Amino acid sequence: MKTAIYPGTFDPITNGHVDVATRAASLFDHLIVAVYDRPLKNLLFSTEERLAMTQEALKELTNIAVQSYSGLTVNFARSVGAQVIVRGLRVLSDFELEFQMALTNRKLAPEIDTVCLITSQDYAFLSSSVAKEIAMVGGCVEQMVPPHVTKALNEKFHRLGSEAGKRVQIVSLRD
């Protein structure tokens, strides 16, 4: 049985992440979407919130589990019996970072391979940071993130009391 992990901060999960996870789930027997709990970046959502949003976004995929982890990704991969780390590539600049990480992980854990999936063209521009910034200033992110994430962004910015958060509205593009 081939097990893979798809690690990331997922702050928040985007439709691009869902696309990569869905395609990875079709390639492996079991996929663990691994939510990193201590990244060296400013997070909008707590680990628990990111876990819940990710679980909701991927609930239809039966061979996916979502869990948080800390420490080295290769150590987490070993602890769950994963043979593969899945990464998504959007743009050329992603390749350089992912290549360096893959080589580092190979040095630390030669038994674990890295597989990079090229993003679907519809999501090549998309990152969690882009979605957060657009939502923060009141833009529509409906085509960028799952519906429950749009709602979570709206609620988070409203709770934070930012002026931009007060203007965030869930806008339906289908109306």
Q: Which of 50, 87, 128, 132 is catalytic?
A: 128
Task: Output the pLDDT for position 166.
Answer: 44
Task: Output the pLDDT for position 55.
Answer: 98
pTM: 0.88
- Give yes or no: 23 in active site: no
Of 153, 159, 161, the residue nearest 131 (C-alpha): 153
Q: CA torsion 156→161→165→170, rounded to 10°?
A: 60
Q: Which of 41, 59, 158, 166 is catalytic?
A: 41
Task: Output the pLDDT for position 137.
Answer: 87
Q: Do 50 and 85 have their domain in common?
A: yes
CA distance 137 to 131: 10
Region 128-151: mean pLDDT is 94
The domain spanning residue 115 has which CATH number?
3.40.50.620
Task: Output the pLDDT for position 165.
Answer: 39
Q: Which of 90, 106, 148, 167 is catalytic?
A: 90
pLDDT at 109 over 90: yes
Specify the number of domains making up the chain.
2
pLDDT at 163 over 50: no
CA distance 73 to 6: 10
Return the minimum-mean-pLDDT range out of 50-59, 68-77, 88-97.
Answer: 88-97
Does residue 175 fall inside a structural domain? no
- Give yes or no: 68 in active site: no
- Give yes or no: 78 in active site: no
Count of beta carbons in the 10 Å neighbourhood of residue 102: 17
- Give yes or no: 41 in active site: yes
Q: Do 38 and 93 have their domain in common?
A: yes
pLDDT tens track for 40-68? 778 999 999 999 999 999 999 999 999 99
